[in-house]
Amino acid sequence: MATIVVKQIGSPIRRPKIQRDTLKGLGLNKMHRTRELEDTPSVRGMVESIPHLVTIVEEKA
């Protein structure tokens, strides 16, 4: 299964609740944390909805 490594680059402080909830859904909650997640359309959509808070560090096949 393909995976992506997502890193949090922005703070959720003073962001709308929906953006904070999206970060929690990705398993991120503190700055500079990384998570390795399955590369699915739903995860990609979550990452693309908050590009100012997270970045894709690596894509693994």
Average pLDDT over residues 16-44: 97
| Alpha carbon of residue 43 to chain centroid | 8
39 and 4 Cβ atoms separated by less than 8 Å = yes
Average pLDDT over residues 22-50: 97
| pLDDT (0 to 100) of residue 52 | 98
- Indicate the pLDDT class of residue 6, thresholds 50, 70 and 90: very high
61 pLDDT higher than 90: no
Residue-wise DSSP of 1-61: --EEEEEE-S--TT--HHHHHHHHHTT--STT-EEEEE--HHHHHHHHH-TTTEEEEEEE-
Mean of pLDDT over the chain? 97
The CATH number given to 3-60 is: 3.30.1390.20
Q: Read off the pTM.
A: 0.92
Average pLDDT over residues 10-17: 97
